A and B are shown apart, each in its own frame.
Chain A
Amino acid sequence: MKIESTFKVKKGLAEMLKGGVIMDVVNAEQAVIAEKSGAVAVMALERIPADIRADGGVARMSSVGVIQEVMDAVSIPVMAKARIGHFVEAQILESIGIDFIDESEVLTPADDINHINKNNFKSPFVCGATGLGEASRRIAEGAAMIRTKGEAGTGNVIEAVKHMRTITNEINEVLSCDTNQLVALSKKFRAPLNVLEEIKELGKLPVVNFAAGGIATPADAALMMQLGCDGVFVGSGIFKSGDPAERAEAIVVATTNYNDPKVLADVSKDLGEPMVGINIDTLTEEEKLAKRGW
């Protein structure tokens, strides 16, 4: 007996990425720097979120050429983004053998009501969430991994913290309720009942949950790990900084040693300039990427 791409195998890859750092890269050269710095996977993109934000306009799936160039350059898993609801972009990514698809709010959504039915795919999916309801709906659709949305391309960790704390608080609410209250909680969070039942049984989300959106320093990565994330995505934070290789390596070591302030102090020394950040309250509601997704 041999069965490919079962949910257990999709979820299993996410389990193998735990405790690691996934880095945004825009070409083969950056991908190699990321791999050598200890990234567990790379996200292949044409433009990193900070530039997508600056450029405006419609942001779509990256060119297949850029993604394949990255896939050829490294031996670690390669992820790529499809627009929310754009199942054809996902089919294309699957056909070129991508290791993970990010159905991402960083791109312009393609469907204002539906997300992709991820159960239809061999490739595993990661999706963003701002709270337990959103995470549960994505899991019901077949997501094998969840990440906080944060506010991508800002270099500002406040939204990722808010989303992680919200998810944790809402999980605690599920765990502390009695089973008679579960249906009401399902309505309150707009979360499928069967996913909440699974959470109650396991004591945690049934899939891995990474931090993403605004992580720019080793301390940011360690903060998200101490808040209970399983690992970290770093988008613009590395290749928008003064010395990407140094910063990438420092964030990797910080993510493993998130509970050891002496190590965090050591790797934070002489890192050069971090990316310039954006204060969230200077963004209009329309400019907030985390609002995308339903």
Chain B
Amino acid sequence: MKVGILSLQGSFLDHQKSLDLISLESLLVKTPEDLDKVDGIILPGGESTAMSKISSYNNLYKKLDTRIKQGLPTLSTCAGTIILAKSVIDGDTHIPNIDIEIQRNAYGRQNESFEADVKFLNNNDIYCFIRAPKIIRTLNNDVKVIATHIEDIVGVSQDNIVSLTYHPELTNDNYYLEWLLAFMKEGKYVGSF
């Protein structure tokens, strides 16, 4: 199988490294045609405003939206999660696919960026939050919470989509990588919380 990584801007090469570590073939996705060649997709961190502007050049988001709605296994981190949210506080919605309300830069500016404990499924580890958004609430019961930092929701799952607000690709711990492999192969939420 081949996993696409939305590569308009942001930490797409870090996600490629994660996929290399679990021996999954990857494709840097920049055009609508690229989306026909992949069996899964990752939306990386970066700047959601910049990515959306760049995507408008070849109308990439329209095809991406269609492919996600067809059930393509989809992982989003940080800005990628803003792109998929149904409701965005202090920002535009882009390709709403996951029923959450999210707030951009919710913890503050860069000086308030941090590393912290995250409970992701059955594992605890330390991850980076960089000018991170916050999932304020889930909008219905189809959305499962799968990751938390203290009281904050930092990861959710809905059908074929898993959305995180932090950066597992900068850490690449074994638990995350094993989960990623299983998720991309099975195409849906894997694990218990």
Query: Residues of A at under 8 Å CB distance from B?
Result: 1-6, 8-10, 12-13, 15-21, 35-41, 75-77, 94, 97-100, 122-124, 249, 252-253, 255-257, 260, 263, 267
Which residue of the partner chain B has the closest CB to A260?
B30
- Known A-B contacts A18-B10, A252-B54; A13 and B113 likewise in contact (beta carbons under 8 Å): yes
Per CB-CB distance, the 10 closest pairs between chain A and chain B, nearest first, are A38-B53, A99-B110, A2-B116, A19-B9, A20-B9, A4-B114, A9-B113, A40-B47, A12-B130, A122-B111
A39 to B57, CA, bound (A): 14
Is there an interface contact between A252 and B10, defined as CB atoms closer than 8 Å? no
Is there an interface contact between A8 and B110, defined as CB atoms closer than 8 Å? no
Query: Residues of B at under 8 Å CB distance from A?
Result: 7-14, 30, 45-47, 49-50, 53-54, 57, 78-79, 90-91, 104-105, 108-117, 126, 128-131, 167, 170
Is there an interface contact between B128 and A8, defined as CB atoms closer than 8 Å? yes
A3 to B116, CA, bound (A): 6
A3 to B126, CA, bound (A): 10
From B7, B8, B14, B130, A9 is in contact (CB under 8 Å) with: B130
- Known A-B contacts A5-B111, A122-B111; A16 and B117 likewise in contact (beta carbons under 8 Å): no
Which residues on B sit within 8 Å (CB–CB) of A3?
114-116
- Known A-B contacts A19-B9, A77-B131; A8 and B53 likewise in contact (beta carbons under 8 Å): no
With both chains docked as a complex, state the minimum distance between the C-beta of B35 and any C-beta of chain A, in angstroms.
16
Which residues on A sit within 8 Å (CB–CB) of B113?
4-5, 9-10, 12-13
Which residue of the partner chain B has the closest CB to A124?
B110
Is there an interface contact between B10 and A9, defined as CB atoms closer than 8 Å? no
Which residues on A sit within 8 Å (CB–CB) of B45?
15-16
- Known A-B contacts A1-B117, A3-B115, A3-B116; A16 and B49 likewise in contact (beta carbons under 8 Å): no
With both chains docked as a complex, state the minimum distance between the C-beta of B148 and any C-beta of chain A, in angstroms.
13
Is there an interface contact between B170 and A8, defined as CB atoms closer than 8 Å? yes
A77 to B108, CA, bound (A): 11
- Known A-B contacts A3-B116, A9-B115; A16 and B130 likewise in contact (beta carbons under 8 Å): yes
Is there an interface contact between A35 and B116, defined as CB atoms closer than 8 Å? no
Is there an interface contact between B30 and A256, defined as CB atoms closer than 8 Å? yes
Is there an interface contact between B109 and A99, defined as CB atoms closer than 8 Å? yes
From A13, A21, A76, A100, B49 is in contact (CB under 8 Å) with: A76
Most chain A CB within a 10 A radius of its CB, from B49, B112, B167 = B49
Which residues on B sit within 8 Å (CB–CB) of A100?
110
Other CB < 8 Å A-B pairs besides A16-B11, A18-B9, 4 of them?
A: A4-B113, A9-B128, A16-B78, A77-B131
Which residues on B sit within 8 Å (CB–CB) of A94?
111
- Known A-B contacts A3-B116, A6-B115, A75-B91; A19 and B105 likewise in contact (beta carbons under 8 Å): no
Is there an interface contact between B109 and A13, defined as CB atoms closer than 8 Å? no
A100 to B30, CA, bound (A): 28
